[in-house]
Structure 1
Amino acid sequence: MKPKTVLITGANRGIGLEFVKQLLPLKPTCILATCRNPDTATDLKELQKSNSNIHILKYDVSKPDDHAPLAQEASKLLNGQGLNLLINNAGVLSRVHKLHDVTVDIMISEYMTNCVGPLLGTQALMPLIEKAAADNSSMPVSCSRAAIINISTKVASISDNGMGGIYPYRASKVALNMMSKNIAIEHGSKGVLVAILHPGHVQTDMGGGAAGTPTEDSVKGMMKCMSELTEKDQATFRDFNNKMIPW
C-alpha cells in the first residue's frame, strides 16, 4: 500500500494518531491530520516537527460549516494532487444503555459525529478522491489509488447484537455502514474503493483501560487489511484481523 496523499480525521490521539505513525514509513507526500483543537494536539505536533509531510488541520466533523473549508484547505495543500486515502476515524461513544435514558440531544449528537459528519466530509472531499482515481486510472482499485475507509464497530452488526445497550452508538454506526454501501455503489465505478473496518475493543480514551486490543496492534491489523483490499472488497465490513462481520 503506497498512498501518496492521506487525510485522517480525529488524528490527535488514539487510533487516528496511530494511523499517522504507521503511515509515515510508507512515505506519503502529504498526510492531512485533522482534529478539533490543534493547539492541544501535543503528540501530533511533536510528530510534525520531524515530518514535514504532516499538516495539521482544524476540523470538527460534527459541525456542518467545517466541511467545505476542510476541502478547500486540503485542495490547497495537495497542490494539484488528488486524495488517495480518506480515513474517517473521528467518532464518539455515549454509554446510554437503557431505553429510558435515550434523549433527542444524545441521539442527534451521536449521529452528527458518527454518520452525518463523515457523510458530509466525504461529500466535500469527493472531487479530490475522484481526481486521484482518475489520475491513477492505470492502477487497480485499492487504497493506493483512491479509497475511503470508514471506521465503524462490530456493535453495529444487527445480527451480532446479543446484548443490546449503547443505543446512540449502535444506531449511528449502522447508519455509517449504510452510507458506506451507498457511496460504494455510486462511486465504485469511478475507481473509488469504500470499505468499513472494526478496529476491535481498543485501549484508547473511548475504549477504556479494560479494552483487550492495544492501539498499535489494532492499527497494524487494519493497515494490513487495507493493503489487501481490492475491487471485490467494495463495501465489505470486516474487523482488524480481516474477518468479515455480518450486517
Structure 2
Amino acid sequence: MSTILIVGATRGLGASLANLYKSDPNNHVLATARTTDPPPSTKNLTYVPDIDVASPDAGKKLLNFLHEKSISHIDIVIVTAGYFATESLKEPSFEAEEKMYRTCVIGPTILITTLANDFDMLLNKGSKVIFVSSESGSITLRHEKEGGGNYGHHASKTALNMSAKLLSLDLKDRSVAIAVVHPGFMRTEMTRGVGFDKFWDEGGAVTPDVAAESLLEWIEAFDISKTGQYWAPRGPADIGTADVILGPKDQLPTPLQLPW
C-alpha cells in the first residue's frame, strides 16, 4: 500500500488529488486541513486536522499525528497549500506579501525539512516530494507582454522553486526525488477571488479535477532522474509567454520542462 500525504487538501487541487488517490484501494491518503473539524475520514482517506502550513508549528503537529498513527514511510508528498493576493506598483502590500511568503515558501520548506529530519525514515529511498508552484515563478518567462506587479505572488513562487532545488540536493543521496510543478491555470475560488476568472476562457483554465488527473499521471512517471526540476505536466497551453520566450506552443512538448 502506498501512503500519500497531501498538504492543503480541503479544496481546489488538493481536494481533487485526495479524491483521485483515494479511488485506488491500494492507497492510504493523508489529507491536511487547517480546520480543527475537517470532513469525516473514510476507509483509505484520513484527514489531519489543524495543520496551517503558514504556522511555525505545522511541521511538529503533522509529525506528532504521523507518529500517533504509526506512519513510518511516506511514498508521495504533494504540497498544494497556497495564497494569492494581487498588488500593483501603486498598491503594494507588506501584509499580503508576508502572508504569501509564509504560506507559499517558508511553511512548505520548514514542513518538508521537519519530515526529512525524522530519523531518515519518513522520507527515504523511493519517496517523491512535489511542490505545487506556478509558471509565474519563472524569471525567464516574465515578459513585458504580461507586465509587472503582483510582486509577492511571483517572488514567493520563485523562492519556492529555489527551496525545492536546494532540498533536492540535500536529499538526493537518500534517493528522495523532489520537483516543482505548474499544474495549470485553474478555475478555482483562489483565481476567482483575485479577479482572474475573466481570463479563464482565454487562458484555457481547467477545473481542479482535470489538473489533478494530469498531475497524478506525471507523478507516476517522475523519479530520481528528474529530481530538482521544474515542470508543467499540462504543457505550454496556458503559459501566456511561452510563445515569445520558448517558441511556438504547437512545437513545444507536453509535459514541458520549465526554465527557472
The reply to whether residue 69 of structure 1 matches residue 61 of structure 2 is yes
Superposed CA deviations along residues 224-245 of structure 1, whole A, max 9, x for unmatched, are: 1111112221111111322111
| Structure-2 separation of matches of 1:100 and 1:19 | 38
> Residue type matched to 2:92 in 1?
V
| Structure-2 separation of matches of 1:59 and 1:133 | 19
CA contact (8 A) 1:203 1:213 kept: yes
1:29: how far off? 5.0
Partner of 1:207: 191
Q: How does 1:1-247 map to 2 (within 5 A)?
A: 4-28=2-26, 30-39=28-37, 41=38, 44-45=39-40, 48=41, 50-77=42-69, 79-96=70-87, 98-127=88-117, 130-132=120-122, 134=124, 137=125, 145-162=126-143, 163=146, 164-208=148-192, 209-210=197-198, 211=200, 212-241=205-234, 242-247=255-260
User: Which is further off, 65-74 or 116-125?
Assistant: 65-74
> Residue type matched to 1:218 in 2?
A
User: Which is further off, 158-167 or 190-199?
Assistant: 158-167
| Structure-2 separation of matches of 1:12 and 1:129 | 29
Higher relative contact order (CA 8 A, sep 6+): 1
1:28: how far off? 4.5
Query: TM (normalized to structure 1)?
Result: 0.85
| Structure-1 separation of matches of 2:176 and 2:55 | 25
| Structure-2 separation of matches of 1:128 and 1:110 | 27
| Structure-2 separation of matches of 1:108 and 1:204 | 22
User: Which is further off, 13-22 or 104-113?
Assistant: 104-113
> Residue type matched to 2:220 in 1?
S
| Identity within the alignment, % | 22
Unaligned runs of 5+ in 1: 138-144
| Structure-2 separation of matches of 1:160 and 1:5 | 35
> Residue type matched to 1:15 in 2?
L
SS of equivalent residue, structure 2 residue 108: helix
| Structure-2 separation of matches of 1:228 and 1:129 | 27
* Deviant stretches of 4+, over 4 Å: none
Q: 1:29 to 1:238 in 2, by over 3 A?
A: closer
User: Which of structures 1 and 2 has the bigger CA Rg?
Assistant: 2
Taking only aligned residues, the RMSD between alpha carbons, in angstroms, comes to 1.9
SS of equivalent residue, structure 2 residue 78: strand
1:128: how far off? 5.2
CA contact (8 A) 2:115 2:123 kept: no
Query: TM (normalized to structure 2)?
Result: 0.81
Count of residue correspondences: 228
1:4: how far off? 1.3
Q: 1:148 to 1:128 in 2, by over 3 A?
A: farther
Q: 1:176 to 1:28 in 2, by over 3 A?
A: farther
CA contact (8 A) 2:31 2:45 kept: no
CA contact (8 A) 2:165 2:228 kept: yes
Q: 1:73 to 1:245 in 2, by over 3 A?
A: same
| Structure-2 separation of matches of 1:129 and 1:234 | 22
